Structure 1
Amino acid sequence: MPSHGTAPRRSIRRLAALGTAALLTAALVSGCSGTPAPEDTTEGTTAASPAPSEEPRPTPSAEATPDEVGLVLPGSCEEIYGPAMFEALQEDLPPLNDPSMSDPNFSNTDELEETLRSLEYLQCTWGRASEAGIVTAVARVSEEQSDAVLDILESNGFDCYSQLQGTRCVIREETEGNALGESHFLREDVWVSTFWLNAPIRGYTENIVEAIWG
């Protein structure tokens, strides 16, 4: 299985002949059209139907299902951001959950991608399938799943450190004028995963953490 370190470079090299406008489509989006649709939505989106030869992908939840006890997760994408951040994203990287981003990639690390898709998650994307965008998922994880995710992150070259009473792991790469990166935050039984390309990402994960945990 290829390590994370080779995946972003592989994606960008493969797209060199296709042009920059195709970069986000392959790096962040799989199995969806790059043609933007006119309608926006603030709800979590539904993954595209797989080809017959593929294993069915779990459908992302439009509403998080809270446990009887413990932290109640947000039920919509609007609720995972503070008001100022949500307004800034609407202005700087619209739209939220464009149909062209309905079936995104969540990571350039295959193990992380597979693990996240095995969970119930709230999916929120910003931008269209183009040269800039953000893909975020908020998922409930067990203690064993959280430990497994951290092991994958650490073994694939992510920089992991304690932050906001949880563990955050990040990686960033700049190639041919494009900035590509991931941020994964784990705290208690929640995993906040973000994959971004050429996007205004400063303070993004911190804002989500504040919105969820207060």
Structure 2
Amino acid sequence: MSPLARVAVAGAGAAAFALVLSACVPAAETAAPSAGSVSSSAAPSATASASPTASATPTPTPTRALPASCDGVYSAAMRSTLENEIAPLNDSEVTLLSTAQAPLLELLQTVPTLRCTWGGPGDRGLATNVSIVDTTQAATIRDALASAGFGCDDADGTTTCVIEQRGVSLEDRPYERGETQAISGDIWVSTSWINVNPDGYTQDILSTVGG
């Protein structure tokens, strides 16, 4: 089965991309971490002395709306490039996730997100999630990426973090894969790719959605 059509299961200690290189093309991305590591489910226990007037702080309502579909994610020029080089858009058999990092997989389940994939099941394609995050969530993303060994740069108000790996498949075919994670204001673009990484892809999304 091809790397774009598989999802490997790993625990909360899932290694960063750079550490999972093997003699074959690795499975797509890891699934959600084990229950024992899900920090989002841990809440302070109630006590008898708790004030009856205490209440949880409400989650801020996002001020930006995501595009209604992937049609609103790319500029016309980038859309043309993707259609010519990596079609189709959103093949239902592609199960590649946009990240292999357990904390980010958790977060993606709690924030407004639009998923877009390019390519069919095979050894070439990418998966992207475009999400809306608040400042606390953005800090969580940056911390997780730094801990996972991503190389990060800050420019013009955007933090872009990248990690890549190369290897040889069981069929002795070389491959490349990686992740690009970017945060600009309240927009988070999370992308995992295999054997294709279009120039300017992430920046195009940030410019189009944030425009």
TM-score scaled by structure 2?
Answer: 0.71
Distance 1:164 1:125, change over 3 A: farther
Instruction: Using the TM superposition, give the Cα deviation of residue 188 of structure 1 relative to its aligned residue in structure 2, in angstroms.
Output: 1.7
Report what 1:194 is aligned to: 191
The match for 2:167 among 165, 171, 175 is 175
Is the contact made by 2:16 and 2:149 (CA closer than 8 Å) also made in structure 1? yes
The match for 1:140 among 113, 132, 138 is 132
Per-residue Cα deviation, 1:157-201 (whole angstroms, up to 9, x for no partner): 101111342211111111122111111111222211111000142
The match for 1:88 among 75, 81, 85 is 81
- Provide the aligned C-alpha RMSD in A: 2.4
Unaligned ranges ≥5, structure 2: 1-12, 32-59, 169-173
State how 1:65-144 maps to structure 2 within 5 Å: 70-101=63-94, 103-144=95-136
Report what 1:27 is aligned to: 28
Is the contact made by 1:7 and 1:109 (CA closer than 8 Å) also made in structure 2? no
Is the contact made by 1:28 and 1:196 (CA closer than 8 Å) also made in structure 2? no
SS in 1 for 2:28: helix
Is the contact made by 1:29 and 1:104 (CA closer than 8 Å) also made in structure 2? no
Task: Give aligned pairs, total.
Answer: 167
Percent sequence identity over aligned pairs: 31
Instruction: Using the TM superposition, give the Cα deviation of residue 129 of structure 1 relative to its aligned residue in structure 2, in angstroms.
Output: 1.6
* Poorly superposed stretches of 4+, deviation over 3 Å: 5-8, 67-72
Distance in structure 2 (CA, Å) of the matches to 1:6 and 1:68: 36
Is the contact made by 1:8 and 1:27 (CA closer than 8 Å) also made in structure 2? no
SS in 2 for 1:202: coil
Query: Which amino acid letter does the alignment assign opposite residue 154 of structure 1?
Result: A
2:15 corresponds to 1:3:
yes
Is the contact made by 2:145 and 2:161 (CA closer than 8 Å) also made in structure 1? yes
Largest Rg, 1 or 2: 2
Distance in structure 2 (CA, Å) of the matches to 1:169 and 1:146: 13
Query: Which amino acid letter does the alignment assign opposite residue 180 of structure 2?
Result: S
